[in-house]
Amino acid sequence: MNVSIIVIGDELLIGQVTDTNSGFLARTMRPAGWTVVDVDVVPDDNSRIRNAVLEALDRADVVLTTGGLGPTKDDITKQALMDVFGGELYRDAEVEANVREVVGKRGIRLNSLTADQALVPTSCSVIQNRLGTAPIMVFSKGTKTLVAMPGVPFETRGMFTTEVFPMLLQRYAPDVALRSDVIQAIDITESDLAIRLSSWEESLPSYMHLAYLPQPGLIRLRLDGSHADRAALDAMMDRCREELITLVGDNLFADKDMTPAACLIELLAARGLKVATAESCTGGSVSAAITSVPGASAVMQGAVVSYSNDVKTGVLGVDPLIIETEGAVSAPVVEQMAAGVARLCGADCAIATSGVAGPGGGTPDKPVGTVWMCVLTPAGSHSWCCRFPGDRARIVDRTVMTTLIRLCMAVKKL
Amino acid sequence: MNVSIIVIGDELLIGQVTDTNSGFLARTMRPAGWTVVDVDVVPDDNSRIRNAVLEALDRADVVLTTGGLGPTKDDITKQALMDVFGGELYRDAEVEANVREVVGKRGIRLNSLTADQALVPTSCSVIQNRLGTAPIMVFSKGTKTLVAMPGVPFETRGMFTTEVFPMLLQRYAPDVALRSDVIQAIDITESDLAIRLSSWEESLPSYMHLAYLPQPGLIRLRLDGSHADRAALDAMMDRCREELITLVGDNLFADKDMTPAACLIELLAARGLKVATAESCTGGSVSAAITSVPGASAVMQGAVVSYSNDVKTGVLGVDPLIIETEGAVSAPVVEQMAAGVARLCGADCAIATSGVAGPGGGTPDKPVGTVWMCVLTPAGSHSWCCRFPGDRARIVDRTVMTTLIRLCMAVKKL
């Protein structure tokens, strides 16, 4: 199925807002084999919207629009859609009830602009937007469908996943079962992995597809399948997933789709272990990554950001002599930081980081990007050094990912 | 000047990569009064690129393309551009030298695919890409210009700012001086601020424009001006900027464009003060925000993430009785956390946070989003409570912004 996406809004063309909806929609539809053939970003302008819709209907089976439905500017998009699909505005009682309910939950007053969200074209059917006030409008033209959705990512994503896409699948592929499995690989480049998997990948049945999704520090492999027979699909997916896991072998990081931080929390919780971090160059980012996961409090004791050497020695108990002779960015310092924070916070496991995040502070010996890291478990500690490329933010990100992955691997071996 | 942007790449249409280049380009050109009228995202496909280029040339004065120039797929984009502008490929010696230099700096081997980046159409002029291997190609058609740039954001942004946009300004507006000033306002809604500024805004000369750029916790106001006479522009900008600062009055946060974290570092450094943070619900994110700024080490001592109550009492010295009677999310706890971390890390100033970031942990009394915050300076401490809307990540972000802004305001008064 070919899909064309039209992103509507002046705020996108002046660079005030970044469109992340179209990527989300593409990723959601990909496992079903639906392809986004075009994304067109247009201003809140009747003729531009109308032309974009006509071109998109020409090019694709399904057209999705996001945005342009706010209470202050919905007339433009609704009018442009009526210019294409016909109809006239009427006040829909169900939409009005939904608008009142959504506004009521937010504890704000319903003004006349928002109340007018209940005006919808007679030429569309409505999907009630439980997450916002702008109704989702479904238009048809021959075998083609256009769905007009709000632009607020929270609303678009929630409603597309739970209602819009299921409706479209029902309309265009009523008998297709879908499944997507993810596994994650580490310590291998994308091209080396692709070479290892190539002959297996070629042997996959035509209704299955492997996607490489590399990110800093790991590669996510997503196996997508779609088949008329749910049982046959599940049997084949189970078999191929096992084969893939075997082929990835020692490079396997996780056999499902979760962040390294979430993996770590699950692994620690299963073993009743607690964790703490001692951070210099990462400045608290490892701790922030762990605590960004709901439920982190079950395993996370705390962290010390020892940005100054005083805090390294005074709070974490690092030997000042070692800092003087080896430097703050060194193996013994991260070892002592990890041990110190575990002791201080009453944790069984720890991560420690000390590096040169730049742009200043580099030396010929320890250039910008040099980072010493340590992971500590009840089985012992391990420290190592990397030289990460990129700027300050990228060096910190890579350090966070690397240390979380390494601690996961160490905890798995316990 | 009307600008159309074409974003080229399969990876964008499958949602693997989010296009942030077009927003950057729009924001960069906006102060000169250049308007992006359309962003079209197309796949690596000759006919689709060619059609997009023809439509864009029809619609705009200047067309910018990003992406589609990687060593494995450059033929498609280059060929599509030659289909429109004519010419044939030749090996350019200067481009070849640049490719060798860039590859050499990265310490990798030059393979034949990358070497072929030196093949460019005879119909374009080249801007050497100092930041990557794909040459930047400039095509002309009548009074219109198309610039084909690489898609890597680091390369696009660097080269557009330093070379491509100056070249375009020289070509289309050789005698125009530009200036953009930013000031930042807090503790006021965008609509209230707009009402206060409306009559002043209407009185601005036609060559000046005020843009509202709201973000969580503050509103950036950008005053853009363009004029043939640099001295006249500077005089009028100086005057209007002063008037704007006066009108914003007590709501002024900063008279220039810098993040709250960078503001805080500048304010503390100027006074020779040191800072530390004690974080519960933010999990290290306040510290990470401060240390994300180069030069943070001049003022940042360290942080304690006291995620467990043991760490609050054992490391920061919070009274266990107070936690029992008042709860961990309370005024006395954040006060004691701030005092504790300042003492422990040898800091003059501190930020402390304790809240319910959700999704679990809320009570009728302290629902999800309830956050107690404290800022401490040599003049004393101040603690207060907010109820932030949104999910876990948004609640943390708002807490980080709010505490950094409040500590800035407190330090300014010292």
Residue with tokens 């974080």: B279
For residue A343, the surrounding DSSP H or E stretch is helix A331-345
Question: Higher confidence at residue A351 or residue B188?
Answer: A351
Task: State how far Cα A367 lies from the chain centre.
Answer: 32
- What pLDDT, on the 0 to 100 scale, is given for residue B81? 96
Cβ–Cβ gap B38/A359 under 8 Å: no
List the single residue in A282, A294, A393 with the smallest CB-CB distance to B392: A294
Q: What is the dihedral of CA A364, A370, A376, A379, to 10 degrees?
A: -70
Tens-digit pLDDT profile for residues A306-330: 999 999 999 999 999 999 999 999 9
The alpha-carbon radius of gyration of chain A (Å, integer) is 26
At B121, phi and psi to the nearest 5? -70, 145
pLDDT category of residue B74 using cuts at 50, 70 and 90: low
Judge whether B371 and B189 are in contact, CB under 8 Å. no
Cβ–Cβ gap A301/B284 under 8 Å: no
Q: Give residue limits of the domains in chain A.
A: 2-172, 181-254, 260-412
For residues A345-373, give the mean pLDDT: 95
For residues B184-200, give the mean pLDDT: 89
pLDDT category of residue B214 using cuts at 50, 70 and 90: confident
How close A16 comes to chain B (CA, Å)? 7
The yes-or-no verdict on residue A73 having pLDDT over 60 is no
Integer Cα distance of A88 and A93 in angstroms: 16
- What pLDDT, on the 0 to 100 scale, is given for residue A103? 82
How close A389 comes to chain B (CA, Å)? 10
A23 contacts in chain B (CB < 8 Å):
12, 15-18
Q: Which of A232, A190, A191, A237 is nearest to A214 (CA)?
A: A190
For residues A258-286, give the mean pLDDT: 97
Integer Cα distance of A321 and A341 in angstroms: 19
Cβ–Cβ gap A26/B42 under 8 Å: no
> Looking at A286-290, B10-14, B78-82, B343-347, which range is the least confident one?
B10-14
- What pLDDT, on the 0 to 100 scale, is given for residue A132? 87
Calculate the average pLDDT of chain B: 93
The correct answer on CATH 3.30.70.2860 for the domain covering A181-254 is yes
pLDDT category of residue B368 using cuts at 50, 70 and 90: very high
CB-count exposure of residue A22 (10 Å: 0-12, 13-18, 19+): buried
Integer Cα distance of A257 and A242 in angstroms: 15
Highest mean pLDDT among B5-19, B66-80, B239-253: B239-253
- A2-172 — its CATH code? 3.40.980.10
At A62, phi and psi to the nearest 5? -125, 135
B292 contacts in chain A (CB < 8 Å):
283, 392-393, 396
- What pLDDT, on the 0 to 100 scale, is given for residue A389? 82
Provide the token pair at B122. Answer: 């005879």
Judge whether B282 and B399 are in contact, CB under 8 Å. yes
- What pLDDT, on the 0 to 100 scale, is given for residue B109? 73
We find that the CATH architecture of domain B177-254 is 2-Layer Sandwich (3.30)
pLDDT category of residue B191 using cuts at 50, 70 and 90: confident
Cβ–Cβ gap B307/A315 under 8 Å: no
- What pLDDT, on the 0 to 100 scale, is given for residue B121? 96
For residues A178-203, give the mean pLDDT: 90
For residues A132-138, give the mean pLDDT: 93
Tens-digit pLDDT profile for residues B123-159: 999 999 988 889 999 999 999 999 999 998 889 999 9
How close B29 comes to chain A (CA, Å)? 9
Residue with tokens 């690596």: B44
Q: Which fold has domain A260-412?
A: Maf protein (3.90.950)
At A299, phi and psi to the nearest 5? -125, -20
The yes-or-no verdict on residue A71 having pLDDT over 80 is no
Tens-digit pLDDT profile for residues B16-60: 889 999 999 999 998 888 999 999 999 989 999 999 999 999 999
Assembly ipTM = 0.85
Residue with tokens 């705009």: B60
A61 three-class SS? coil
Provide the token pair at B316. Answer: 């920061």
Query: Which runs of consecutive H residues, i.e. helices, occur in A249-330?
Result: 260-271, 285-291, 309-314, 320-326
Integer Cα distance of B43 and B45 in angstroms: 5
Residue with tokens 């297709």: A176
A16 contacts in chain B (CB < 8 Å):
23, 27, 213
Q: Cβ atoms within 10 A of the Cβ of B154, count?
A: 13
**CA dist B105 → A381, B98, B108, B131, B231 (Å):** 35, 11, 8, 10, 42
Highest mean pLDDT among B175-179, B200-204, B209-213: B200-204
Question: Higher confidence at residue B178 or residue A370?
Answer: A370
Cβ–Cβ gap B284/A303 under 8 Å: yes
**CA dist B92 → B86, B104, B120, B163 (Å):** 17, 18, 7, 20
Q: Cβ atoms within 10 A of the Cβ of A149, count?
A: 27
For residues B312-319, give the mean pLDDT: 97
Strands A177-185 and A218-227 come out as: antiparallel
